[in-house]
A and B are shown apart, each in its own frame.
Chain A
Amino acid sequence: MSQLILDRLAATFTGGELEQIGSQHGNEWARVRRDAWRTVGSFLRDDPACDMKMPTDLTAVDRMTREPRFDVVLHLYSVTKKHRVRLYAGVPEDDCTLDSLVPVWPGLDWFEREAYDLYGVRFRGHPDLRRILMYPEFVGHPLRKDYPKEKRQPLIRRSGFPGKPE
């Protein structure tokens, strides 16, 4: 049912922007070249056959040993046509940036902030890119696979009150 989107994408973007398309477990997905991220997004929103006006989710995956290291994953939905698609963009670790999709779908504001906070992917053109779930004094990006799960960065000293003297 979402094959239509992949067909439209394949028909429109013939210059190598679409690196790979596929379908798995009922989800259709397309891998997009990094510099065509915003073009493909705008097309999907504005094309009347696709009409993907609702952004459902934006997140990142740390593939660890694969190059490029991170995948930014975007899920889109159309309330009129009732179809979905998933888009991937590979982001390397040394140049961890990607175009922001906030000008296309304003609802991705907080989702991109969260991907920046937890994975370190910077979004170019985001109006207010700062940490959202962790506190500003936190150092590092905790959902990366090389961040140990139990490494705490306490914000307040742990002693000096009745029951726990200095």
Chain B
Amino acid sequence: MDTTLTPSPANSPAGSRRVVLGVQEPEDMDLPTDPIPLNMGPSHPAMHGTVRMVLDVEGEKISNVDIQIGYLHRCFEKESEHATYTQIFPYTDRLNYVSPMLNNVGYAMAVEKLLGITDKIPERAQYVRVIVGEMSRMTDHMTCLGAGAMELGAFTVFLYLLKAREWFYEMLEEISGARLTHSYMRIGGLSADLPDGLTAKLLDNIQKTRVVVEECGKLLNRNRIFRDRMDGIGVITKEEAIAWGVTGPVGRSTGLDYDVRKDHPYLVYDRFDFDVPVGSVGDNFDRYMCRIEEIAQSMRIIEQAIAKLPPGPVMVDDPRLRLPTKTETYNSIEAMIAHFKVIMDGIHVPPGEVYSFTEAGNGELGFYIVADGTGRPWKCRVRPPCFANVAILPKVLPGLFIADIVPTFGMINMIGGECDR
């Protein structure tokens, strides 16, 4: 996609964005302003979850911002201390609720590391995890770009990307039973295999999505208004990104070449051929381009994975982990007891601690689990990628105008469920 544009005064840093109308001393034209506090409250139309920003503004320019999160604190950690390992899967769905499969995968991998069965997961289960994970990543990026574009006025792009997202929701519903909160993974594999005919439908929908994403790119990439609002705004340098722990598309847009799928491959990602888009400037437009390119790369991964998908079981064959089949459960007392124990007692994980990290839609999603030998974890901590991404905003926003908050916050893609847990 060709993204060159002639430079305009709007592409220069935000502080020097003044149109000088042939007056000698532009500073004299400024009206004296008093700083006032302005509240962008917990419910605001940007549809990006609930967050409260208390701004100190002088005129339209922000001098200080205090971001108050916690309006969606649903106590993931406290709930997981009272739930068995399998019961935590629905809670993980609701962390980053636009890409729930990726959270499921991350959590399942963490518990499997504690159990020591990472290399015993069947091949087919690993491939399917990759496929549905990349589908979820695509829905994440499509939602982020759609909502971000809508806030800048590009309502058509929003509707197009949501149309494409609907196709993925239908397919995910066929796979897991729910459109949004799937809880598809289990410790040791998947809850069920892919339905018949899904891979063909998926390839078909990927072709249609390619067309949709191309169209949206054509509508936005060289659009004067879009570029003026996104270029040069909200710049994060690579050193800042590293020191603040910023990862994911936001971190890669600064030039930081860190993608967990490439640097520390997990599941079967090392068998696929895909690129990782890395930006250079670190502004909003780079973050937008990183995400659009990642959608294309996800489609590549899915196509390769479908081509190589092996047959086989989807759950590890360990009686302490998997539920017996229904025929066994209803016909033999041992299987019924096993079924009861696995569900009520939970999976007994030997004592230990692990930090397991995967690449979620927003960056490095880490699960730090402390197990004490019973069926419930002692502590199950999520390292949320967008927590670090939003933490850097109070450093990025001062000096911008109020209107610049909208695209910056949109491209950071704060998901309330993940940031506040």
Q: Which of A26, A110, A135, A145 contacts B391, CB < 8 Å?
A: A110
List A contacts of B357 (CB < 8 A): 56
CA distance A5 to B223 in the complex (A): 49
Contact with A along B257-282 (1 / 0, CB 8 A): 01000011000000000000000000
**Known contacts being A82-B264, A106-B243, is A59 close to B78, with CB within 8 Å?**
no
CB distance from A143 to the nearest CB of B (A): 6
List B contacts of A27 (CB < 8 A): 353-355
List B contacts of A57 (CB < 8 A): 245, 355, 366, 368, 381, 383
Contact with B along A2-33 (1 / 0, CB 8 A): 00000000000000000000001111010000
CB–CB A54/B242 < 8 A: yes
CB–CB A133/B366 < 8 A: no
User: Which residue of chain B is the closest to A142 with respect to CB atoms?
Assistant: B78
CB distance from B97 to the nearest CB of A (A): 18
User: Which residue of chain B is the closest to A71 with respect to CB atoms?
Assistant: B370
Q: Residue B396 at the A interface, CB < 8 A?
A: no
Q: Residue A61 at the B interface, CB < 8 A?
A: yes
Number of B residues, CB within 8 Å of A: 41
List B contacts of A24 (CB < 8 A): 352-354
CB–CB A53/B364 < 8 A: no
Contact with A along B283-316 (1 / 0, CB 8 A): 0000000000000000000000000000000000
A-B CB proximity, top 7 nearest: A107-B244, A133-B70, A110-B391, A57-B383, A107-B245, A25-B354, A133-B73
Q: Which of B77, B242, B353, B388 contacts A79, CB < 8 Å?
A: B242
CA distance A143 to B114 in the complex (A): 23
CB–CB B75/A149 < 8 A: yes
Q: Residue B420 at the A interface, CB < 8 A?
A: yes
Which secondary structure dominates chain A's binding surface?
Answer: mixed
CA distance A79 to B353 in the complex (A): 23
List B contacts of A145 (CB < 8 A): 81
Q: Residue B79 at the A interface, CB < 8 A?
A: yes
CB distance from A81 to the nearest CB of B (A): 11
CB–CB B114/A106 < 8 A: no
User: Which residue of chain A is the closest to B238 with respect to CB atoms?
Assistant: A79
CB–CB B116/A25 < 8 A: yes
CB–CB A25/B243 < 8 A: no
CB distance from A58 to the nearest CB of B (A): 9
CB–CB A53/B242 < 8 A: yes
CB–CB A25/B114 < 8 A: yes
List A contacts of B70 (CB < 8 A): 131-135
CA distance A134 to B70 in the complex (A): 6
Q: Residue B10 at the A interface, CB < 8 A?
A: no
CB–CB B242/A75 < 8 A: no
CB distance from B337 to the nearest CB of A (A): 30
Contact with B along A105-130 (1 / 0, CB 8 A): 11111110000001000000000000
CB–CB B370/A61 < 8 A: yes
CA distance A86 to B114 in the complex (A): 16
Given A84-B355, A149-B79, 9 more contacts at CB 8 Å? A25-B352, A53-B242, A54-B245, A57-B368, A59-B368, A73-B368, A106-B244, A107-B391, A110-B391
Give the most central of A54, A75, A84, A143: most B CB within 10 Å: A54
18 A-B pairs (CB sep. < 8 Å) = A25-B116, A26-B113, A26-B354, A54-B242, A56-B357, A56-B383, A57-B366, A75-B368, A82-B264, A107-B392, A109-B391, A131-B70, A133-B420, A133-B421, A143-B77, A145-B81, A149-B79, A149-B81
List A contacts of B114 (CB < 8 A): 25
Q: Residue B387 at the A interface, CB < 8 A?
A: yes
Q: Residue A90 at the B interface, CB < 8 A?
A: no
CA distance A85 to B245 in the complex (A): 15
Q: Residue B360 at the A interface, CB < 8 A?
A: no
CB–CB A56/B258 < 8 A: no
User: Which residue of chain B is the closest to A132 with respect to CB atoms?
Assistant: B70
CB–CB A133/B364 < 8 A: no
Q: Residue B256 at the A interface, CB < 8 A?
A: yes
List A contacts of B82 (CB < 8 A): 149
List A contacts of B368 (CB < 8 A): 57, 59, 73, 75
CB distance from A48 to the nearest CB of B (A): 15
**Known contacts being A56-B383, A59-B368, A107-B245, is A75 close to B355, with CB within 8 Å?**
yes
Q: Residue B69 at the A interface, CB < 8 A?
A: yes
User: Which residue of chain B is the closest to A80 with respect to CB atoms?
Assistant: B242
CA distance A57 to B245 in the complex (A): 8
Within 8 A of A (CB), among B336-360: 352-355, 357
CB–CB B75/A54 < 8 A: no
CA distance A153 to B70 in the complex (A): 15
CB distance from B106 to the nearest CB of A (A): 13
